[in-house]
Structure 1
Amino acid sequence: MNIRYKLSLQFALIAAGILLLFSIIIYSLSEYHRQQEFFFRLETRALTTARLLITVKEIDSTLLKIIDKNSVRSLFDEQLAVFDEKNRLIYSNLDASDLSGLFSSDFIEHTRQNGQLNTRLGKNEGVGLRYEDDQLGQFVVLVTAEDRYGWAHMKALKRVLLQGFVIGLLVVIVAGLVFSGRVLAPITKLNEEIGLITAGNLNRRIPEGNGRDELAILAINFNQMLTRLEAAFDVQRQFVSNASHELRTPLTALTSQIQLVLGKERSPEAYQSVLHSLYEDTQKLIALSNGLLILAQTSLEKQRLLFRPVRVDEAVLNAQNDLVKAHPNYRFSIEYVQLPEEESLLHVNGNETLLRTAFTNLMENGCKFSK
């Protein structure tokens, strides 16, 4: 999966999580308000019934039941009952058989103790209300009903939220694809430009854009890397050219001497002389090869990472020992004008091998070309 689709997928997952959380919050708050509103309606119904039955003297249970049967009910599957302080049923809008097991004694006692109790009974929701009269005592009014309108509203809300979630997610996916395509367009162009760069055109550079954002910084760093690579390739080509030129002369000399000695029979002394000359040329060839390798390492800056504190006097002495081993007939001496008292002043940050090579070359040149 490429970056574009990964970004689109991650963007869609984040948006889906936000939409889902938003939908859950809306549904939960709507359900809470529906329940509170329905409990308030049940409480109002219970309180109205208690006032009519207990406070209004002209209305008894028979008349109240007639009123209930002939009234337009706003509550579906309503079940209402009123109990006196001894938990005796004094009024119900249903038959006693229909109330059996509906309101338990525990529910009545909890309502009497708490003053008001909200509960859920199957698909219905109920409210228990304690009603007190100064003359007749304490009563408990229980009413349950089904909130069909509320549940229909919640069902419609759930359907709307689900449809909105699906549509919103599709919009987010399409927008994510378009957005990620636009964001990654400079990277695609960058890849196309990089694909055109080969070993033969390292002088080519990619556009650096505005020079400020992350892609521009990436392009700048890549161009700087190309500059270093181009310099390394130039050094490599130059080294190959120099090595070929430097090695051609001793190799030509070796070949000429070998051809000369193979041309006819010679005395043992002549063969020894030729072998001695071939040995000297071979030694020169080895020294030249070592020098070229050191030059290549220096030019490619490989030794820069190996810099560490080096004592200069020790490097000079080591170079002197190396030269004595290679040329026992050389005679030279080293004089120090003044050595510092602190040894730390003799340390320099460098590469010991290259310093020894430099000092050896100076001494060797002095012995070769100076009296």
Structure 2
Amino acid sequence: MQIAKKITLLFAILSAVIISLLSGFVWYFSNEFAFEDFYKRLEARVKIAAQIKLTEDVNNKAYAKMRNQYLERLPSEKEYIMRAGEVKALDRQLPASFYNRINTGAMARYRIENHFYAGKFFKNNNNGYIVIVSANDPFGFRELKDLQRILIIGFFLSVILSFIVGWKFSNYMLMPLRNIIKSVKRIKAENLHLRLDVKDGNDEMSQLAQTFNNMLNRLETAFETQNNFISNASHELRTPLTIISGEVELAMKNIDDEQKQGKALAKIKDEAERLEHILTSLLGLAQSGFNGKNQPWEEVRMDELLWEIKDSVNQVHPNSKIEIDFSKLPDDESLLTLRANKNLMKLALNNIVSNACKYSNEKLVSVSIESNIHTLSIAVTDRGIGIPQTDIQHIFEPFYRASNTNDFKGYGVGLPLSLNIIRLHRGSIAIKSQEGVGTEIKVLLPTMV
């Protein structure tokens, strides 16, 4: 069932419930108080009848005359006077509760459809008497029936009206959502640049449209990154394969020249190693794109991990100078422990420290760590060649290398791999660099992952 139909149906049901409760409320109190005036008129006649018939007063004849002359006679009005304890047949049988109330001295009331009774106990000359007056009230009863008919008709008309209004209201409220659906359906892989119109305001529809736009931004970036990645990867893989193929042909032509064959084989070996490194890096990039659920996560002491990274980098760059600054360590050692994939985290930080050592020409590389209740940060600072300002925005793109790194061997995969791994741990990387001065890369990781 569509949302508009659900909203309309729910609106109609709620309206029906509210209207029925209101109608019941009106009917109940109308039924209770509609005949109050008629009962009072009967009670007045009970008192007058008792005064005229039960008391000895010289004015009784005058009272009776005035009653007959000026007091309206009610439809089917009858008077019944009986001694207490005497059972006198009335026009119909009244319930025992009616007489019980009379015996208590109170005015008793009873109604059968539009026929009303009022009675009371009177005492005269040490004798007890019961005076009962009955009459019909066709006009009040008819008004009550008319009210009942009006309430029933009004109920059904109100429900129908609420259904129509609910349908119009739901269509009006869901129109922005339908527009969003139509706009989203028009967006395909070939036109990911399209965006939804976001209205001014902070309502749910505006937030939904903005959320879709943010998702489209991420999708467009992912598609562009994928296209660039495939293009760069194919280029990087084709180059060593072309060189290997050429060297094999050269070695086959110079089969009798051992020196040229040795050079060709050495070149083939270098390019094969390069190809292996590229494939390993590509595999690392692919693995770092996992959601992490199938990878082992554990509690990792980040300060201890930095010592392991220092030893690992020193094996690859034995002349490197790495200094680990622990002056900003927190008093609470638990703030240094993160839940992470240790192998991937070690790989990410190792790439950053290794790059700092490689591009600093054996100058000092400083690694500092600090942590608070929300964030753990690791800063790697070198005094190397730095990064040109025009290249900083591209250094996290796969296979991209800064324009001043031609004298250094590399493939442009280390930093993109590190960024993927840090993002996997819900962290971020900040970079600050000046060409010829040095570079500082800061890794920010949440302490609660």
TM-score by length of 1: 0.73
2:415 counterpart residue number = none
1:208 matched to which residue of 2? 198
Structure 2 equivalent of residue 116 of structure 1: 107
**Cα separation, partners in 2 of 1:260 and 1:334, compared to 1, 3 Å:** closer
The answer to which of 333-342 and 170-179 deviates more is 333-342
Which residue does 1:87 correspond to in 2?
A: 85
1:82 partner letter: I
Equivalent in the alignment of 2:275: 285
The aligned counterpart of 2:403 is: none
User: Residue 158 of structure 1: CA displacement?
Assistant: 0.9
Q: Residues 37 and 110 (structure 1 numbering): CA distance in 2 closer, same or farther, change over 3 Å?
A: same
2:351 paired with 1:357? yes
Q: What amino acid does structure 1 have at the position aligned with 2:80?
A: A
**How far apart in 1 are the matches of 2:96 and 2:19?**
46
Give the CA deviation at 1:215.
Answer: 1.9
**2:254–2:260 contact (8 Å) kept in structure 1:** no
> CA separation in 2, counterparts of 1:183 and 1:199?
30
Separation in structure 2 between the aligned mates of residue 104 and residue 215 of structure 1, nearest angstrom: 66
Q: 1:172 aligns with which of 162, 186, 189?
A: 162
Q: Which of structures 1 and 2 has the bigger CA Rg?
A: 1
Give the alignment's Cα RMSD to 1 decimal.
4.5
- Unaligned 5+ segments in structure 1 are 90-95, 325-329
Q: Which amino acid aligns with 2:237?
A: L
Instruction: Summarize the Cα distance change of 1:32–1:314 in structure 2 as closer, same or farther, 3 Å threshold.
Output: closer
Q: 1:283 to 1:320 in 2, by over 3 A?
A: farther
What secondary structure is seen at the aligned counterpart in 2 of 1:236?
Answer: helix
Match in the other structure for 1:25: 25
User: Gaps spanning 5+ residues in structure 2: where?
Assistant: 363-406, 410-449
Aligned to 2:51: 51
Equivalence for 2:14: 14
Aligned to 1:332, which of 318, 331, 346?
318
Contact 1:310 1:352 in 2 (8 A): no
1:316/1:356 contact within 8 Å kept = no
Between the aligned partners of 2:56 and 2:78, the Cα distance in structure 1 is: 22
Q: Which amino acid aligns with 1:81?
A: Y
Distance 1:127-1:279 versus aligned 2 partners, 3 A rule: farther
The alpha-carbon deviation at position 132 of structure 1 amounts to 3.5
- Name whichever structure is richer in strand by fraction: 2
Distance 1:338 1:110 in 2: 100
Q: Cα deviation per residue 1:163-200 (whole Å; 9 max; x = unaligned)?
A: 11111221221122122222222222222112111121
Distance in 1 of aligned mates of 2:86 and 2:323: 125
The sequence identity of aligned pairs, in percent, is 24
Q: CA deviation at 1:331?
A: 6.6
The equivalent residue for 1:92 is none
State the SS of the aligned residue for 1:99.
coil
> Residue 82 of structure 1 aligns to a residue in which SS?
strand
Q: Cα distance 1:339–1:177, how it changes in 2: closer, same or farther (>3 A)?
A: closer
Tell me the equivalent position of 1:318.
309
Q: Rate the CA distance shift 1:167–1:152 in 2: closer, same or farther, 3 A.
A: same
Deviation at 1:160, TM superposition (A): 0.9
Q: Distance in 1 between matches of 2:42 and 2:116?
A: 9
The offset of 1:32, in angstroms, is 0.7
1:252 aligns with 2:247: no
Secondary structure at the counterpart of residue 34 of structure 2: helix
Partner SS for 2:184: helix
Superposed displacement of residue 148, structure 1: 3.4
Cα distance in 2 for residues equivalent to 1:80 and 1:54:
13
Q: Distance in 1 between matches of 2:246 and 2:261?
A: 14
- The residue that corresponds to 1:157 in the other structure is 147
User: Which structure 2 residues correspond to residues 193-232 of structure 1 after superposition, within 5 A?
Assistant: 193-232=183-222
Q: RCO higher in 1 or 2 (8 Å CA, sep ≥ 6)?
A: 1
| Partner residue in 2 for 1:40 | 40
Q: Under a length normalisation based on structure 2, what TM-score does the superposition of the two structures give? A: 0.62
CA distance in 1, matches of 2:248, 2:119: 123
Which whole-Å CA distance do the structure 2 matches of 1:104 and 1:180 have between them? Answer: 55
Aligned pair partner of 2:120 in 113, 129, 138: 129
Distance 1:239 1:202 in 2: 18
| AA aligned opposite 1:36 | E
Which stretch shows the higher mean deviation, 204-213 or 310-319? 310-319
How far the C-alpha of 1:237 sits from its partner, in A, is 1.5
* Contact 1:15–1:172 (8 Å) recurs in 2: yes
Superposed CA offset, 1:6-42 (max 9, x none): 2211221222122111211111111111242332233
* Secondary structure in structure 1 of the residue aligned to 2:104: helix
The residue type paired with residue 194 of structure 2 is R
Aligned to 2:227: 237
Q: Give per-residue Cα distances to partners, 1:227-280, cap 9 Å, x unaligned.
A: 222222222221111111111112223444556678898999999998876555
> For the Cα contact (< 8 Å) 2:74–2:135, is it kept in 1?
no
Taking structure 1 as reference, are residues 211 and 224 closer, same or farther at Cα in structure 2, changes over 3 Å only? farther
Whole-Å separation in 2 of the counterparts to 1:269 and 1:114: 138
